[in-house]
Amino acid sequence: MMIAAPSLNKLFSVTLGKFLTVGVFNTAVTMAVIFIAKAWLGVDDVAANVSGYVIGMLCSFFLNKFWTFSHKGNTLQAAARFILVCAVAYLANLTALQAFLALELNSYLCHVLAMPFYTLVFYIGSKAMVFVDYSSGKTGKQGADWRTPLSDSGGGSHATDAGSQDNQRRNLFLLLLAFAASAVVLFYRLTDIPIELWDESRLANNALEMSKTGLSLITTFEWQPDHWNTKPPLLIWLMAIAINLVGVNELGVRLPSVLAALGTAMLVYWFVGHYLRRPVQAFLAVLIILATPGYIQIHGARSGNYDSLLTLLTTVYILCAFIFLQEQTRNKRMYFALTTIAVVLAFYTKTIQGMIFLPGIFLYALFTRQIGAILRKPYFYIGCILAAASCVSYYWIRNEIDPGYFAAVQANDLGGRYANALEGHHGSPLWYLFRVKFFPWLVPSLLMAAYLLVRGSAAVKRLTAFLAMCLIVYLVVISSAGTKLVWYAMPLAPLSAILCALGFSDIAAKLRMDPEAAKPALAIPLGVALAALAIGLNALLVHKTIALKQSRPYDQHSFALRSLAGSNEAGPIAVLHPGYPVGDIFPFYAAPTLFYANALTLAGTPTTIVQHATQAGRDARLLVCGNAAPVPGWTISKPLAAGTSCALHVPAPDSDQPGSSPVVAGDTGR
């Protein structure tokens, strides 16, 4: 970060008195606006507070610029630096406040003691960084550019730095740190969360059964062709292979998704760090991906679902397609081949959803007038024909060996979910933009795209236009669909991360704080701190999820059966289960419990699921959750899994017919 470093005497000159005067006046203006808005205009407290502070900050900025510091530089750039310094000063105030509160001082006194920290940091930042004339080093409208095949000049100011040993060590450290942070976030307590109800448990059973019957185009559930899950079997094949390698457990189910997410992070790092030659921005992009809860947590990279693998494949073909359109070398054919292969694999992962980005790529090629040149390439037609044949032949062959399959596809994938809000998953056209809790970087990435298209260099504008077209086309398609689910937006996460990293870095460069110019002494500790923050936030979410699962009655069976794995229990077990509340979709559904029951059965302990105690065999032990009272015909043998409400019951010795009373799961002990 480049700042003008004034001497101590200059720092605390007469301007300090002006600065404090402006502070007092600014406080008075803020409070006056708040009181007027509440008393005279009748607005609520939040709106009044926001109005007061916005007007107060505007007064502070202009009075300090034109009176306190007599600043003659660019007003817009100074305003951006002003906002940044305000944020840093507030963080200093908040840190000091927490420290004083930890000393158990009076809370009002703590606020008073913390105020000078804000004032001091704000003053030093304003004097040393905000209201400084940078005209001697002005970057101009294009801003700092990267040395990259995209660059208009073919070189850049970072050519020397990129070749220095210090920066090479810095870049290698950031690459290893990005990989390590991604691995920790993705694998941390991965197997401590039991299999989820939708859709992970369904796919887990598909994969478990296929791991025993061999790889096939037909996925099965309860050993029958599955026409509820109509996706192609690529992910199920990978999960079945993983189960055979690591066992019938959560790791086997989730390993393909976790590895796909790790591959996505490294692919983004390669594209930004190697192809664009901006390793610091690459590291930032990876951290943004890790700080996207909707991508990492719910139904995402840490679960055995389609969307992590889909995101990897769509990211591959989007980035390869851009390089194909950008390059004019013999590598063009290779990148087209990679694009085509990734498109086909994306289709084999999640059918039509894997191809939604293609119109965005076409629009970019159309607007950049490359369509004609592409259509003159024979390999373009060969690739398109082979890709179409691969996709169509799958449907034809699958329907031939599994009659009725294509009708199920039409009802589900090829129109059902798009035209109708299946299972109550509906929302407005702006539904995804308001999912800030899950995708906090989506809206900022759109704003960064707009900014870069106006203020970026020619090279940056080309990349931004391409990514923005792909992102907006995909977002429009899923937003116009009847069925809306959070994980449908997962493939947008890498694109949002790249746009945000480029935008933030471009703004920083214009403020003379180019992250690529950061020395190892600054970049390395800051990178470690940011990585630790991303890891910590995800760890908190994992702990919260585990605690939630442990408190839910419907997950008790999973925890209990997991505790029996490897215990060498003798004799069959019957699980008394009420079924999950899935409405009218299935008459009785217990897919998560079924996965663990099948795992125990394969391990040598025959395990079944029953709705009524009378359905259990005479020699079976009965697993009951939710009530410690004995089931008629059984006696409690032992509790299971600390933290759960489950216990194993054994047939009562004086009962000829255990369970003679028709006890129903969920009604025990009433």
Give yes or no for residue 49 having a pLDDT over 80: no
Q: Place 204 in a pLDDT band, splitting at 50, 70 and 90.
A: very high
Condensed to tens digits (0 to 9), the pLDDT of residues 479-496 reads: 887 778 888 999 999 999
Residue 336 CB coordination number (10 Å)? 21
Average pLDDT of the chain to the nearest whole number: 80
Which of 22-26, 47-51, 539-543 has the weakest average pLDDT? 47-51
DSSP class of residue 130? I
Condensed to tens digits (0 to 9), the pLDDT of residues 615-648 reads: 777 778 888 887 655 677 777 766 665 556 788 8
Listed residue (270, 268, 278, 329) closest to 159, CA to CA: 278
Note the maximum CA span of the chain: 98
Q: Place 161 in a pLDDT band, splitting at 50, 70 and 90.
A: very low
Better-scored residue on pLDDT, 139 or 663: 663
Q: Half-sphere exposure (CA, 13 Å, Cβ side) for 614?
A: 5
Condensed to tens digits (0 to 9), the pLDDT of residues 489-523 reads: 999 999 999 999 999 888 888 777 777 777 777 78
* pLDDT at site 417: 55
344 residue type, one letter? V
Q: Which of 77-113 are b and which e, b meaning 16 or more Cβ less than 10 Å from the residue's Cβ?
A: bbbbbbebbbebbeebbeebbeebeeeeeeeeebeeb
For the chain, the first-to-last Cα distance in angstroms comes to 69
User: Strands (DSSP E) along 572-633, which ranges?
Assistant: 573-576, 607-610, 621-625
Q: What percent of the chain has pLDDT over 70?
A: 80
Which three-class secondary structure state does DSSP give residue 103?
Answer: coil
As beta bridge partners, residue 224 has 221
Give yes or no for residue 314 having a pLDDT over 60: yes
Average pLDDT over residues 210-226: 91
Give yes or no for residue 104 having a pLDDT over 70: no
Contact indicator for 91, 125 with CB cutoff of 8 Å = no
Give yes or no for residue 403 having a pLDDT over 50: yes
φ/ψ of residue 159, rounded to 5: -60, -45
* pLDDT at site 251: 94
As beta bridge partners, residue 607 has 573
Contact indicator for 313, 346 with CB cutoff of 8 Å = yes
Listed residue (178, 395, 402) closest to 291, CA to CA: 178
Average pLDDT over residues 170-175: 89
Average pLDDT over residues 562-575: 78
Distance CA 561, CA 592 (A): 10
Contact indicator for 71, 126 with CB cutoff of 8 Å = no
* pLDDT at site 154: 37
Contact indicator for 154, 110 with CB cutoff of 8 Å = no
Which of 103-107, 394-398, 617-621 has the weakest average pLDDT? 103-107
Which of 71-75, 201-205, 221-225, 357-361 has the weakest average pLDDT? 71-75
Better-scored residue on pLDDT, 20 or 425: 20
Which of 188-192, 235-239, 456-460, 636-640 has the weakest average pLDDT? 636-640
Q: Place 134 in a pLDDT band, splitting at 50, 70 and 90.
A: low
As beta bridge partners, residue 386 has none
DSSP class of residue 513? -
Which three-class secondary structure state does DSSP give residue 71?
Answer: coil
Cis peptide before 199 (omega within 30 of 0): yes
Query: Token pair of 395, please?
Result: 């449907």
Most confident option among 18-27, 125-134, 388-397, 448-457: 388-397
Condensed to tens digits (0 to 9), the pLDDT of residues 236-285 reads: 999 999 999 999 999 999 999 999 999 999 999 999 998 888 999 999 99
* pLDDT at site 162: 45
* pLDDT at site 311: 97
Give yes or no for residue 12 having a pLDDT over 90: no
φ/ψ of residue 16, rounded to 5: -65, -40
Which of 25-34, 67-76, 86-95, 247-256 has the weakest average pLDDT? 86-95
- CB-based contacts of 28, cutoff 8 Å, min separation 6: none
* pLDDT at site 551: 83
284 residue type, one letter? L
φ/ψ of residue 636, rounded to 5: -70, 130
Listed residue (473, 467, 455, 466) closest to 370, CA to CA: 466
